[in-house]
């Protein structure tokens, strides 16, 4: 799950009460017929959400029923990365929260405009069938700035946004980017063009050690100052800060130290990744709940890294 450091803002149903005549009900009826029977107890919950754009609290839902424990007074959008759950969709809509698809496709397949259009059409049809409110495009593939994929990816985002906005009223199209635009993991995208083409960029301010170019030692998943540098770089490119949503991790990394010094420097084995000699692949992700259960019984208890502005602990 992830969410930004921004104020929560609900999406009221009031938009459906505007005196827009008969056009809106007819369009809604056609949409419901195309999608099939509404799975919600109240048919209104199958309508796509509309409302003013504002600060986002954006959550990735990875399945099961964790959504039943969310603080729905804050959430504005849920990206469904797990198996489609109509109960989640109905409940989210009852709370004024959007539910959006996960979108991913091999970039080599969307260089061809016809294949690109076919993929977009499939996503729009799926969103309608499942009464969803848009799509979160999560393409984390390598792209060279001089490659056909570089231009095709920007066109994909623009054409996807145009199609969703045209076909589903009030829909939202977002794109996931690395913590920095500096070709992280060889993802050299047209960040300004993509930001212009969609509703906002979701900045994945985590896994920031996917490429370690300095000393091969354990570091925080999302070091504070490094994280801020990433946002400064996006803004310096001319991207409106209002188009950036901060993604934060609800997990840490467990590293086995080859050597642990008295001043808490943990040396890691070298596991290369996309050109870098070391990476966080030397460790494994650990959920927040597991961390909090283990920290008090660890060798060190909670420690603080003043440089990275991050907590850590040591255990055996």
pLDDT in tens, 19-70: 333 344 445 545 544 556 999 999 999 998 887 667 899 999 988 898 999 9
| Whole-number pLDDT of residue 51 | 73
Instruction: Describe the crossing of helices 113-129 and 148-167 by its angle, rounded to 10 degrees.
Output: 30
In the predicted structure, residue 198 carries a pLDDT above the cut 50: yes
Q: Which residues are catalytic?
A: 140
Percent of the chain with pLDDT over 70: 88
The answer to whether residue 234 sits within a structural domain is no
| Whole-number pLDDT of residue 9 | 33
| Whole-number pLDDT of residue 299 | 93
The SS3 assignment for 101 reads: strand
End-to-end CA, the chain: 28
Confidence of residue 219 (pLDDT cuts 50, 70, 90): very high
Cα–Cα distances (Å) from 294 to 153, 263, 290, 312, in that order, read 43, 21, 6, 11
The answer to whether residue 172 sits within a structural domain is yes
Q: What is the DSSP letter of 141?
A: -
Mean pLDDT comparison of 46-55, 145-154, 208-217, highest-scoring range: 145-154
Strand blocks (E) in the chain: 58-61, 77-80, 98-103, 134-137, 172-178, 200-204, 244-247, 251-255, 259-260, 266-267, 283-287, 303-305, 310-312
| Whole-number pLDDT of residue 279 | 87
Q: With contact defined as beta carbons under 8 Å apart, do 80 and 60 qualify?
A: no
The answer to whether residue 181 sits within a structural domain is yes
Q: How many structural domains compose the chain? A: 1
The answer to whether residue 150 sits within a structural domain is yes
The answer to whether residue 3 sits within a structural domain is no
The residues near 208 (Cβ < 8 Å, ≥ 6 apart) are: 179, 219, 220, 221, 222, 223, 226, 227, 230
Q: With contact defined as beta carbons under 8 Å apart, do 185 and 213 qualify?
A: no
- This prediction's pTM: 0.84
The answer to whether residue 138 sits within a structural domain is yes
| Whole-number pLDDT of residue 63 | 86
The answer to whether residue 7 sits within a structural domain is no
The answer to whether residue 51 sits within a structural domain is yes
- The per-residue pLDDT for range 275-296, each reduced to its tens digit, is 889 888 889 999 999 999 999 9
Q: With contact defined as beta carbons under 8 Å apart, do 38 and 32 qualify?
A: yes
| Whole-number pLDDT of residue 27 | 52
Domain that holds residue 138: 44-204
| Whole-number pLDDT of residue 274 | 87
- The per-residue pLDDT for range 71-83, each reduced to its tens digit, is 999 999 999 999 9
Q: Which tokens in the block code for residue 274?
A: 């996309």
Backbone angles phi and psi of 270, in degrees to 5: -85, 115
- The per-residue pLDDT for range 235-257, each reduced to its tens digit, is 999 999 999 999 999 899 999 99
Cα–Cα distances (Å) from 31 to 19, 41, 119, 181, in that order, read 20, 17, 20, 38
Q: With contact defined as beta carbons under 8 Å apart, do 273 and 185 qualify?
A: yes
Residue 123's CATH number: 3.20.20.80
Mean pLDDT of the region 223-240: 97
Mean pLDDT of the region 123-128: 98
In the predicted structure, residue 173 carries a pLDDT above the cut 60: yes
**Buried b / exposed e across 41-68, counting CB within 10 Å, b at 16+?**
eeeebbbbbbbeeeebbbbbbeeeeebe
| Whole-number pLDDT of residue 276 | 86
Lowest mean pLDDT among 13-22, 151-160, 228-237, 263-272: 13-22
290/271 Cα distance (integer angstroms):
25
What mean pLDDT, rounded, does the chain reach?
Answer: 88
């Amino acid at each position: 799950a992830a969410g930004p450091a921004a104020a929560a803002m609900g999406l009221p149903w009031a938009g459906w009460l505007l005196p827009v005549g008969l056009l809106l009900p007819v369009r809604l009826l056609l949409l419901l017929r195309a999608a099939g029977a509404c799975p919600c107890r109240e048919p209104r919950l199958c309508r796509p959400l509309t409302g003013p754009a504002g600060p986002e609290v954006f959550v990735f839902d990875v399945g099961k029923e964790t959504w039943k424990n969310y603080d729905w007074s804050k959430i504005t959008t849920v990206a469904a990365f797990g198996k489609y759950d109509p109960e989640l969709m109905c409940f989210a809509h009852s709370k004024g929260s959007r539910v959006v698809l996960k979108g991913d496709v091999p970039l080599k397949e969307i260089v061809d405009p016809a294949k690109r259009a076919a993929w977009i059409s499939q996503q729009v049809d799926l969103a309608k069938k499942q009464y969803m409110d848009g799509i979160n495009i999560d393409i984390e593939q390598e792209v060279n700035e001089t490659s056909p994929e570089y231009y095709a990816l920007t066109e994909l985002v623009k054409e996807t946004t145009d199609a969703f906005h045209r076909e589903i009223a009030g829909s939202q199209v977002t794109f996931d980017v690395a913590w920095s635009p500096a070709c992280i993991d060889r993802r050299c995208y047209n960040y300004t063009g993509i930001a212009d083409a969609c509703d906002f960029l979701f900045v994945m301010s985590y896994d920031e050690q996917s490429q370690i170019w300095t000393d091969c030692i354990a570091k925080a998943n999302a070091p504070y100052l490094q994280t801020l540098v990433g946002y400064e770089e996006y803004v310096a490119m001319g991207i409106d800060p209002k188009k950036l949503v901060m993604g934060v991790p609800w997990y840490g990394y467990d590293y086995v130290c080859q050597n642990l010094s008295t001043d808490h420097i943990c040396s890691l084995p070298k596991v290369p990744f996309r050109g870098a000699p070391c990476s966080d692949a030397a460790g494994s992700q650990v959920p927040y709940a597991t961390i909090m259960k283990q920290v008090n019984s660890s060798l060190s208890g909670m420690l603080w890294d003043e440089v990275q502005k991050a907590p850590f602990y040591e255990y055996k």
